[in-house]
Amino acid sequence: MKKLKTTATEMVAKARAEIREIETPDLIAKLGDPNVVVVDIRDVRERQRSGYIPGSFHAPRGMIEFWVDPDSPYFKPIFGEDKTFVFHCASGWRSALTVQTLQNMGFEAAHLREGFSTWEKQGGPVEFPE
């Protein structure tokens, strides 16, 4: 088996040391705040299977750099708003790497440390697509 220079686990640990992490109860308390945008970067199938945080904006991880860049033809205006953005995935790994990348681009954001995996158990509301 080929040995990697850096493992995914090491990359996530490095990202977490450089970014702002939000705990689940703290994000639950911010739901409904018009200045906070929760961004779900999970695959559409994960959202269909597990549900999603009410009011969250879905932005597939594969497009996020292009969606936040005002010079990109794929720019989404929501990312140009003066708001607090909190990204999440299922376990916090993908969102940590995503937020680190966005921070390197100059886009300030935070991520949900435990991801969606413990959201419902900790009292977070969940919606499902029609």
Residue-wise pLDDT for 24-35, tens only, equals 999 999 999 999
pTM assigned to the model: 0.95
**How would CATH label the architecture of 19-118?**
3-Layer(aba) Sandwich (3.40)
Is the pLDDT score of 7 beyond 90?
yes
Secondary structure letter of residue 90 according to DSSP: S
Please tell me the predicted confidence (pLDDT) of residue 41.
Answer: 98
User: Alpha helix (H) ranges present in the chain?
Assistant: 8-18, 24-30, 44-50, 64-68, 93-105
Tens of pLDDT, residues 92-104: 999 999 999 999 9
The whole-number pLDDT of residue 129 equals: 85
Average pLDDT over residues 78-88: 98
What CA dihedral angle connects 86, 8, 119 and 88, to 10 degrees? 20
